[in-house]
Amino acid sequence: MLGALFIWQWLSNRRTQSLLRQYLDNPLPDAASDALIEKLTASLSQNLQQMLHSQQSQIQKLLFQTQQQQIKINNEQHLNLMKVLHEHSEKFTQHQNHGFKQLIEHLQQSTQAHRQELQVSLQQSSKALATSMKELTESTDNRLKDISKEVENRLTDGFEKTTKTFNDILKRLALIDDAQKKITELSSNVVSLQEVLADKRSRGAFGEVQLNALIRNVLPEKHFSIQHTLSNGKIADCVLFLPKPTGNVVIDSKFPLESYQRMQDPQLTVAERKMAQTQFRQDIKKHIRDISEKYLISNETADGAVMFIPAEAIFAEIHGHYPELVESAHRARVWLASPTTLMAILTTARSVLKDEATRQQVHIIQEHLAMLADDFNRFTSRFDNLAKHIDQAASDVKQIHTSAHKISRRFAKIDQVEVAPESESKQQQDALLNVE
């Protein structure tokens, strides 16, 4: 009866129930759980057997004392008592085995259920994580491939266009050299243009046609305008639309042929030649002044304008014998140009336009690189979040492991409890409840 009372007290104790529920809510691994159950069963069986032997010894001692007083009655009572003890021992053993069996089955079922739930949860989390990583990796790879392909195509196109531009410049410079050589060779055989260019309008038209032909051979239509009207109402022969800081460059054709031809007449006297030279100088200064006053407009045109002289001979005469005219043109922000030098100016303008187009393409590439950087930053943020979830899972597993060790220590304390008289049982129960 005392053994049954001990089992009943041990199972109904609140601290014991709390420990069992904590163990059931936080199951150990299979091997550790089975070992703990076997250890618990063996310990409880040993304690109960020790208690049974102790009680039997006390009863035998009591019977021995009673036998001295009541010898006749003791034999009969002893037989009855031994019979009762035997029956109670068998019942207690049956109840003990049945209780242990139910406890073991309940622990095994609870452990198996929690283990299956944990496995299913881990498998689902692992699949979801693998799917997310796969989708993120595929998206990143596709984005990088698209950007790399686009950047490569744009760089290839830019290099091809630049190479083509340089080749065109070299070809045109070669053509200019050939033309210059032919002009030099045929200069002695050129027919005088005096009759053809005797009229000023004819000379002006000749200069404009030559200017138009040179510009159209070098620049695209959208980058220049012929007979362009400015905000002040003046009409320029041509305006080049160049990117900032250069801006719109005005080109005006001037052909001072009369004073030049008179100056080159070998029949003139020295005085007449000087007068012709003075007239030639005045004509050039007037053209420079007119261009500076008419075609230099703040916030509309460039800081300088070009005066196109269709004749190489006149251009060479100015630079060779009239340096003060060149200086005057520089002060007035007017650049003198012949057909040859204008070709160089136009070629330079074309290179500037090409460079501007290339810079615009570079901005597009930079925008795509910035988009790639944003995608990579989002990838880093999502990867950091994933790492935090993994760290949290590891922390939870560590806490479960700590709880399992605490349960093991609780059962170890239970194993150390010794069977004591009823007066001391209450003190042992209180001590068991106060175990940290």
pLDDT value, residue 419: 47
pLDDT value, residue 423: 54
Whole-number Å distance between alpha carbons of 283 and 208? 19
pLDDT value, residue 70: 65
pLDDT value, residue 435: 45
Per-residue pLDDT of the chain (436 residues; tens, 9 = 90+): 545 555 554 455 455 555 455 555 555 556 666 665 666 566 666 666 777 677 677 777 776 776 666 677 766 766 777 777 777 777 777 877 777 777 777 777 777 777 787 778 778 877 877 787 778 778 777 877 787 788 778 778 877 877 788 788 878 878 887 877 777 766 554 444 454 455 556 666 677 788 888 888 888 888 888 888 888 888 888 888 888 887 888 888 887 777 788 887 888 888 888 888 888 888 889 999 998 888 888 888 888 899 988 888 888 888 888 889 889 889 989 999 888 888 888 888 888 888 877 777 777 777 777 787 787 788 778 777 877 877 777 777 777 777 777 777 776 777 665 544 555 555 555 554 554 4
Q: Domain spans of the chain?
A: 2-133+410-433, 191-337
Q: How many CA atoms lie within 13 A of 257 on its CB side?
A: 20
Whole-number Å distance between alpha carbons of 256 and 259? 6
What's the token pair of residue 406? 């605490």
Whole-number Å distance between alpha carbons of 391 and 398? 11
Q: Which of 402, 398, 379 is nearest to 390 (CA)?
A: 398
Q: Spell out the SS3 assignment of the chain.
A: CHHHHHHHHHHHCHHHHHHHHHHHHCCCCHHHHHHHHHHHHHHHHHHHHHHHHHHHHHHHHHHHHHHHHCHHHHHHHHHHHHHHHHHHHHHHHHHHHHHHHHHHHHHHHHHHHHHHHHHHHHHHHHHHHHHHHHHHHHHHHHHHHHHHHHHHHHHHHHHHHHHHHHHHHHHHHHHHHHHHHHHHHHHHHCCCCCCCCCCHHHHHHHHHHHHHHHHHHHCCHHHEEEEEECCCCCEEEEEEECCCCCCEEEEEECCCHHHHHHHCCCCCCHHHHHHHHHHHHHHHHHHHHHHHHHHCCCCCCCCCEEEECCCHHHHHHHHHHCHHHHHHHHHCCEEEECHHHHHHHHHHHHHHHHHHHHHHHHHHHHHHHHHHHHHHHHHHHHHHHHHHHHHHHHHHHHHHHHHHHHHHHHHHHHHCCCCCCHHHHHHHHHHHHCCC
pLDDT value, residue 196: 45
Between strands 224-229 and 235-241, the pairing is antiparallel
Whole-number Å distance between alpha carbons of 308 and 291? 11
pLDDT value, residue 342: 87
Whole-number Å distance between alpha carbons of 345 and 112? 90
The 10s digit of each residue's pLDDT in 253-281 is 887 777 788 887 888 888 888 888 888 88
pLDDT value, residue 126: 74
Distance of CA 48 to the CA centre of its chain: 70
Query: Edge-to-edge, what's the strand order for the sheet holding 305-308?
Result: 224-229, 235-241, 248-253, 305-308, 334-337
Look up residue 257 and give its amino acid.
L
pTM for this prediction:
0.40
